[in-house]
Amino acid sequence: MSAGKAAAQACHASLMAFLQVAQAHPQKIEEWFKTGQGKIILEVNSENELKQIYTRLTGDDTGKVICYLVRDSGLTELKGMEYTALGIGPFDKDYIDGFTKHLKLYK
């Protein structure tokens, strides 16, 4: 996907995950604002890997409120690819790292 499409998908994921955390854990949002609102963009090798991470996250009671899987409509450049991005948090860094530490930074 193009850089612009990737940025848009990351924005969708980030915003939706933020809204879920804001509703369920408003104190996490306050902490996040006080510590610089950090964001890290990571890369997966496939759509299947993205879905596997999401499945692991949503299998945990906490994960049900801290992540959002973006499903693309396929109307522009992504024909046949359904899931494009996963927003996680803001939440505890150590908790999130347990699901993402094997991933590389997005280039």
For the structural domain made of 3-105, what CATH number should be given? 3.40.1490.10
Tens of pLDDT, residues 7-60: 999 999 999 999 999 998 999 999 999 999 999 999 999 999 999 999 988 886
- Residues 57-105 have pLDDT tens digits of 888 665 555 899 999 887 778 776 689 999 998 988 888 898 999 999 9
Per-residue tokens: 40: 């890290």
What are the beta bridge partners of residue 105?
42
SS3 68: strand
- Structural domain boundaries in the chain: 3-105
> Long-range contact list for 59-65, CB < 8 A, 24+ apart?
62/91, 62/95, 63/99, 65/20, 65/21, 65/23, 65/24, 65/25
Q: Give residue 46's pLDDT.
A: 92
* Cβ-proximal residues to 47 (8 Å cutoff; 6+ apart), any chain: 81, 82, 83, 84
